[in-house]
Structure 1
C-alpha cells in the first residue's frame, strides 16, 4: 500500500471510537478521554453496546449504526472483533482505522489477517495493531492513547515504539515544544514508515521529520519515500542497536537516502527544538556571540568537538565593531565584555547582518547584573530580523516559561548547553551536505557498449542453462572484462607468497593479511612514484539481504594499525559521486589516485544492476597508485534474486530510430545529462518556456537542473530525445515526463520540445512513448494541464487520445486518458 487515504488519518473530519468506555483503566476509557481532552472539533461518535450515553455523547451500539462514515475509527476492542468491525466500517466508507490493541496470540494474528483482508476491497488503511495512535495537534486530533495532549509545532515524530513516543511527547510538553504530527506505528501490518514518510514529505505543516526505528519493512518503498522527503526537508533517524551486525547497512541506507543518522535520543530531542522552532539555514559557518571569556572558551570547545564550524572574522567587521561596540573584543567568538548590556547583543546582530560570511548567529549567555537572561532574550527577539541565516541561543541557568515561549514564537531555538547547541547545528550541516550529495551531478559513467552488456547477460543465461552456478578464473575474468575490469592473475602478485594456502583464503582474509605485508612505508614509496606495490587490497562482497536486496560490503585494513579498519556498505546502483563518498572514508584515499577505484566500483555496480542473475560475488580490488585490478573473483549465479532497494537506470526503455533525417535516441534521462539539459532549456524561447512552466521563467540553477535530471525511476520517468554530432557531442531535442502518485493510480505528464524543432511531430513521438511507459507501469490515469492559449499542446493531446477537460482555473485546460493495465 502507499499514501492512499492517509489524509483521513492526518486531517480527519470525524472520529469514531469503537469500544469507548468509562471503565477506569480500560483501553476504551483512555482513548475516549484523550480524544475529548484534546478538543477535537469535528463529529465524535462513541460505539459500545453496553452504554446509551457517555457524558453528553449518544453511544451507538454497533459500528454499522453510525450515522455516516467517520474519517477514522479508533478500535479498542479485542482482536476477535476486528474483522467484523473493519468490514462494517469499510462498507460505510471509512478510509482509516487505528487498532490500539495488540495481536499477541496465533488467534489474534489470524484475526488481524482477516481484518486486513476485509479492509483491502475498501482501500481502508490500518495503523497498528499495537499503536499508541496518531496525533495532529493543529486539528486538536489526539487519536489514540498518548500520555498527554500535544502542542502544535513544525516537526513530525514517527516511531515504532509506543513507550518512546510517550516519553518524547511528555518531554516536549514540559519544554513548551510541539509537533506537526506524532505517529506511533505499532506493528505496521499495513501503514508503515515508508507510507508515513511519503505523506509527510509533501505536508506543508511539517518542516522536518524525526524518525525512530529498529527495522525497515519494505526497503524499496522506504528508500524511495525517504529520498523524496530528504530532498524537501531534513529527515533525522535514530536506530538503536549499534552492535547489530547489519547496523552498518542501515547507516549506508540512511546516508544514501539523504537522511542524517543521530547516535542518541538526546540528539533527536534537541532537533525538536532546533527544527521545530527555528528557521535556521545551516550554511556550515557560524559566529558565536557571548559576554564572558570563560563562556567563549567553553562554547569554542563545544563547536570544535562538533566539527569546527566557526566562521572566519572579516577585517571590515572588526573596523565596524570599534565604531558600534568599542569595548568588545572582535573576532569569532565575539566577546561583548563583562559589562555588556542587553542592547549590546542586539547591536552585535545588526552589525553581523552587514557581513554575511559570518553565517548563523549563536548567542551563549549566563545571567549577569547588567544583562539578565530575560532582558537579553527580549533584545534578541527585537533584533532577530537581522540574523539572516537564523539565530540560536543558549542561556545557562535556563529561562522562565514565558520568556522561552516568546523566543519560540519568534523562531529562536533555545538550548541548555553549548554542546547541545553545537551538535544540533552540526546535524543541520550534515543534512545540507547529504542533500547536496543527492543533488550532485555525477561524472560521466564509463561508456558501456550495449552489445557488451547484452553479451554479459547472454553469458549468465547460458551458464545457468548449462547448470553452472559459480564463476571463477577465466569465466569470471571474461564476464568482468565486459565491464572494463582487469582481472589480475594471483601468481603475478607480489603481495601474497603463501601458495595454495593463500589462494584458499577469503577476500576478507587476504585484505587483512595485506595490512601486514603492505606497510605504511610501502604506501609512501608507492605514492612517491612506484607502481609496483599495491597501496591496499579492498575486499568487496555482494550479498542478497532479506530486506534491502543486493548490497555491497567493502572492507579494508587499518592503514596504520591504530585507526579503525574500513567496513562500510553500499547500495547499488553506484555512480562515481556515490563511489567517492565510500572511497574517501578510507585512510588510504590520499595514497592513490581516486579515479581508477571510482571507475571500478561503478563498473561493478553496473554489472550487478544489468545482470540480475548475479546473486553474490566476492573479490579483492587491488589498488595501486595509478590503477586497480581485480584479484580472485568468485561470482554466484541464480535464476532469481531480490529486487534492488533503489531502482537502477532502466535501459529497457532505450530506443534508437531514424526520424526526420536524423538518428535519434530516446532514452531515460540520466544525472550526467545536466549540461545538455541546460543547453536544451537555454535553446527554448521565453514564450515556449512560459507556456511550459505557466509563467515567466529565467535561467535554471544547478539544484533545479539536478532535480530535472536526477530522478527516482521508481516513481518518475523522463524520456529525452537526443542526437549525437560527428564530434560526439550529445544534444537534447525534447523531453517528456510522467510523475506517478505514490499509489500508482495517476501519473501527471509534461512535454517540451526545443523551439527550433517545433512542427516536426517530435512531441507526438515522445508522447506515444510515455503513454506506453505508463501502461507498462500499470498506471490507471495519465493526466496533464496546459494554458488555454497553448493551442499546439491542446492539439497534440487530442491527437494522442486525451479527453480535454475544464479546470478550476479558466485559463487552464486539463487532459485525461484512461489506461488499461498491462503486465510489465
Structure 2
C-alpha cells in the first residue's frame, strides 16, 4: 500500500487516544496533553479503563465503546495490546493508527506483525512503532508527543528520527517558523518515507519537503514517489553517515530522483527559513545590496564559495543608479555607502525591478545610525513587491521577533550570516537544475535490433541452463557485441589475446552511438569479425572501472571509478542506477576531470549500451570490466559477466519493450508502443496537428500550444505507475509520425487508473481510438488495477460513444458539464458493479 487512507493521518476528522493518562511523565499523559494543546476542533476521545474523567473529558473504558470510529487512533498502550486494538478499530472503520511505543523485544516485534495482519483487511494504515507522531498544524492536529506546539507553515518535515524531529520543531518554534506537516516515521512497519512523499507531492498546503533518513525500505516505491514529488516542489534530503559504504549510492539515488542533498543539519534548518516563508524563484543569479564595503566583501566571498551566483552588472543599471542614488557604487554587490538611509534600500529594489537580469535580491545589513535594522527591515517590507524573483535578507545581530514575523508575512526569509544565506539560495538553484535534469529530453538512439537482443538473451539463458556462472573472454565479447561494444584483446576463443583484434563493433565519435551493424549480423550467436583496432598509435586517456552489483535495496547498480587525473585531485567514484540514457550518462561523465580531454559521445554511447544490456537481460546479476577511453573512441577491457536465474528488480522501471507490437491498420503498418522521452518532438507535431476544437474537448478548455516542460511531462513518464501507448507510422522518409496516444495513470496503490485517449484530427473515424483503448484496458487489467476511470465533456459525443463501445459505464460527476466513465477490471469488482446497477448519466 502507499497513499491509501493517508488523508486520515493528515486531515483527520476525529481522534482517539488509546491509553490517555494523567500520570506525570507517562506517554499517555504527554500525548493527551499535546492533542489538547493543538486545538483540534473535531471530536477527541480518551480511552483508558483506569479513569472516568480526564479534566473535562469523559473517559471511555474500551475502544469498542467509542461513539463512532475515530479517523485516527493514537495508541499509547504496550505492544502486547496492539493486535487486538487494531482489529477492533479496523472493524469499526478507523483508517489510521499511530503506535507511539517502541518494539524492543522479539515479543514486541511479533506483536507488530500481528497488528499489521489485523490492519490489512480493513486497509488501516499504521505509523510506527516508535513514532513521535504526525502533526498537521493548520488543523490543530498534534497526534503524538512533539516537544512543543507547532506553528502552521509551508514546509513539510519527514524524518526517521524522533530526537531530530523534536530538535527541529523546537528550533523552528524559537524562530517563528512553521510546517504544513511534521511526520516522525518511527520503524516504518507500514507507512514509510515513500508513502509520505507520495501524499505530500500533491498536497496543496506543502510548498517544499525536508526529508531526513538513514535508509530506504522499498527503493522502487521511494524512487518513484521522490521523482514525482521533485517534479512538483523542492525536496531536500539529509542523510548522515558519509563514511557508510552505501552513502555514495544514496547520493546517486537522490540525484537521480531530483532531490537536493544537504550535508548538515544546519543547512536543512536554513532551508526551513528559506522555503517556509520565502517566495523565491531561484533563477541562478542574485544581486547583493549592502551599505558597508566590509560587509560587501564578506557577502561576495560567501556567494563565491557557494558557487558564484552573483549576476553580471549591466551598464544601463549603473546609469540609472547614478540618477536616483548618486552616492552609491554600482556593481555587484551594490554598495549604497556609509550614508545610506533606510529608504535607499527600497529605492534600490525599485530600480533593480526594471532590470531583470539582476536576479534575486539579497540585502545584507548591519545596523548604523542612519539606517537602523528595524527601519531597513520596514523598507524591505514596503518595497518587497519590486523583487520579482524574491527577496532574502541577512541582518547582523538579528531583528526582534515582531519585525521578523512581519518580514516572514511578506515572504522575506531572514538569515543570520551571508554564508547561510548564500548556501540556502545555492540549494534552491541546485533544485532548479536537478528538476531541469529530470525534464530534459535525452538524445535519441536508434532502436536496438530485436534479433540482436533475442540472441543475447538466448546466449545467456543457454549458459545458465548449462550451469555456467560467468561469461568471459570470447563469450563475453560475443554478448557485448550484440549491444555494439568492442572488446579489446578478444579473438577467437582466447581471453587476453593480442589487443589488435576485436570481436564486435566500435563506438566512435563520428557515429555518436554504438553501431549495431555487427550486432545485426550476429543474431545466430556468432561474433562478427570487425576491422582490427590498432593501439600502437593510440594512447588511452583513462580506464574507467565499471562494476554492477545487486544491491539488497536498490537492486542492480553501477559503480564507476577512475584514478585522479593528476594524483592530487579527487578520484572519480560515483554510482549510477540503470536505466541510463545519454543524458544521464553525461551527468555521470562530466563529473570527471578527464571529460575535457575526450569526445564525450563514445563514452555516453558505451554507458548507455551497458545499461541496455543490463535492463534487457535480467540474467546478468553482476559484471566487472574496464572502459578504455581514447580521444575519439572507447573499448571494453577484461569483461566478466556473472549470470544467474534470479536478480532483484531495478529501482527505476526501464522502457517496457514487451509492449511493442506492429499492427496492420487501415492499409498502414503501424507500431503501437510505450512512449519514450525521445518522442517529445513528434509529440509536439502531434498536438499541433490537432484542431482547436479537438484540443478543447481533450483538455477541457482552450489550448494553444504546450511548452517544453509540459511536453516533457507527457513523454517522460514513470513506467512503474503510468503508461502511455502511442500509435506511430513511418511517413515514408524514415521519420515516425504519432497518430494517437492513450494513457492510464494509476494511483500509487493501483486501486484505480485514470485514462485519456487522443487521436490526430485527420485520423478520426478510423477506429484508431478503439484499437488503443483495447490495449490500455488489457494493460491495466494485467497490471492488477481494479478500476479504470475517465471523464469527458458532456458534448464530446465521440468519446462517450467510444467509452460505451469499450464497455464503460457512463456516470454522473459533480460538474454537470462533465460525464464520467467507470469499468471494473477484475471479476469481483465486475460482479459488484453489476449488482449495483449504476444509473447512466442523463
> How well do the aligned residues superpose, as a CA RMSD in angstroms?
1.5
* 2:290 corresponding residue in structure 1: 290
* 1:456 corresponding residue in structure 2: 456
What do residues 718-774 of structure 1 show as CA deviations (whole Å, max 9, x unaligned)? 000001133211100000000000110000000101111011000000000000000
* 2:836 corresponding residue in structure 1: none
* 2:734 corresponding residue in structure 1: 728
1:530 shift after superposition: 10
1:699 to 2:715 alignment: no
Given the alignment, which residue of 539, 544, 553 partners 2:550? 544
* 1:215 corresponding residue in structure 2: 215
1:550–1:571 Cα contact (<8 Å) kept: yes
Off by >3 Å, runs of 4+ in structure 1: 496-499
User: How has the CA–CA distance of structure 1 residues 679 and 480 changed in structure 2, closer, same or farther, with 3 Å as cutoff?
Assistant: same
* 1:559 corresponding residue in structure 2: 565
Structure 1 counterpart SS, 2:755: strand
CA distance in 1, matches of 2:497, 2:80: 68
2:489–2:497 Cα contact (<8 Å) kept: no
1:338-349 aligned at under 5 Å gives the runs: 338-349=338-349
What do residues 110-156 of structure 1 show as CA deviations (whole Å, max 9, x unaligned)? 11111111000000000000000000000011000000000000000
CA distance in 1, matches of 2:439, 2:560: 24
2:491–2:498 Cα contact (<8 Å) kept: no
1:52–1:59 Cα contact (<8 Å) kept: yes
CA distance in 2, matches of 1:218, 1:385: 44
Given the alignment, which residue of 571, 588, 593 partners 2:594? 588
CA distance in 2, matches of 1:260, 1:757: 44
1:678 to 2:679 alignment: no
1:116 to 2:122 alignment: no
* 1:92 corresponding residue in structure 2: 92
* 2:465 corresponding residue in structure 1: 465
What do residues 301-331 of structure 1 show as CA deviations (whole Å, max 9, x unaligned)? 0000000000001111111111111111011
* 2:775 corresponding residue in structure 1: 769
* 1:576 corresponding residue in structure 2: 582
CA distance in 2, matches of 1:97, 1:630: 54
* 2:428 corresponding residue in structure 1: 428
* 2:235 corresponding residue in structure 1: 235
Structure 2 counterpart SS, 1:61: coil
CA distance in 2, matches of 1:255, 1:354: 36
* 1:8 corresponding residue in structure 2: 8
1:801 to 2:807 alignment: yes
CA distance in 1, matches of 2:628, 2:488: 9
CA distance in 1, matches of 2:540, 2:287: 45
What do residues 593-634 of structure 1 show as CA deviations (whole Å, max 9, x unaligned)? 000000000000000000000000000000000000001100
1:445 shift after superposition: 2.3
1:8-87 aligned at under 5 Å gives the runs: 8-87=8-87
1:497 shift after superposition: 13
2:477–2:490 Cα contact (<8 Å) kept: no
What do residues 12-40 of structure 1 show as CA deviations (whole Å, max 9, x unaligned)? 11000000000011100000011111111
1:469 shift after superposition: 1.6
1:128–1:189 Cα contact (<8 Å) kept: yes
2:473–2:490 Cα contact (<8 Å) kept: no
CA distance in 2, matches of 1:381, 1:458: 70
Structure 2 counterpart SS, 1:240: coil
1:447 shift after superposition: 3.0
CA distance in 1, matches of 2:557, 2:757: 36
* 2:675 corresponding residue in structure 1: 669
* 2:515 corresponding residue in structure 1: none
1:220-369 aligned at under 5 Å gives the runs: 220-369=220-369
1:634 to 2:640 alignment: yes
CA distance in 2, matches of 1:266, 1:638: 46
What do residues 639-669 of structure 1 show as CA deviations (whole Å, max 9, x unaligned)? 1100000000001110101100111000000
User: How has the CA–CA distance of structure 1 residues 530 and 425 changed in structure 2, closer, same or farther, with 3 Å as cutoff?
Assistant: farther
1:442 shift after superposition: 0.2
What do residues 495-546 of structure 1 show as CA deviations (whole Å, max 9, x unaligned)? x9999xxxxxxxxxxxxxxxxxxxxxxxxxxxxx996010100000000000
1:706-717 aligned at under 5 Å gives the runs: 706-717=712-723
CA distance in 2, matches of 1:680, 1:90: 49
> What is the TM-score with the length of structure 2 in the denominator?
0.93
1:651 to 2:661 alignment: no
* 2:206 corresponding residue in structure 1: 206
CA distance in 1, matches of 2:198, 2:453: 35
1:137–1:181 Cα contact (<8 Å) kept: yes
1:210 shift after superposition: 0.3
> What is the TM-score with the length of structure 1 in the denominator?
0.95
1:371 shift after superposition: 0.7
1:743 to 2:754 alignment: no
* 2:378 corresponding residue in structure 1: 378
2:490–2:498 Cα contact (<8 Å) kept: no
User: How has the CA–CA distance of structure 1 residues 355 and 420 changed in structure 2, closer, same or farther, with 3 Å as cutoff?
Assistant: same
Structure 2 counterpart SS, 1:424: helix
* 1:757 corresponding residue in structure 2: 763
1:610 to 2:616 alignment: yes
CA distance in 2, matches of 1:491, 1:665: 39
1:780–1:821 Cα contact (<8 Å) kept: no
2:78–2:101 Cα contact (<8 Å) kept: yes
Tell me the number of residue pairs that the alignment of Structure 1 and Structure 2 aligns: 790
1:544–1:615 Cα contact (<8 Å) kept: yes
1:569 shift after superposition: 0.3
CA distance in 2, matches of 1:665, 1:770: 15
1:258–1:438 Cα contact (<8 Å) kept: yes
* 2:822 corresponding residue in structure 1: 816
CA distance in 1, matches of 2:554, 2:435: 21
1:775–1:821 Cα contact (<8 Å) kept: no
What do residues 662-693 of structure 1 show as CA deviations (whole Å, max 9, x unaligned)? 11000000000000000000000111000000
CA distance in 1, matches of 2:552, 2:800: 48
2:606–2:634 Cα contact (<8 Å) kept: yes
CA distance in 2, matches of 1:402, 1:821: 63
CA distance in 2, matches of 1:779, 1:135: 32
User: How has the CA–CA distance of structure 1 residues 652 and 531 changed in structure 2, closer, same or farther, with 3 Å as cutoff?
Assistant: farther
CA distance in 2, matches of 1:259, 1:737: 27
1:101–1:131 Cα contact (<8 Å) kept: yes
CA distance in 2, matches of 1:172, 1:558: 43
1:207–1:275 Cα contact (<8 Å) kept: yes
2:789–2:822 Cα contact (<8 Å) kept: yes
* 1:792 corresponding residue in structure 2: 798
* 1:526 corresponding residue in structure 2: none
1:805–1:816 Cα contact (<8 Å) kept: yes
CA distance in 2, matches of 1:659, 1:321: 68
* 2:507 corresponding residue in structure 1: none
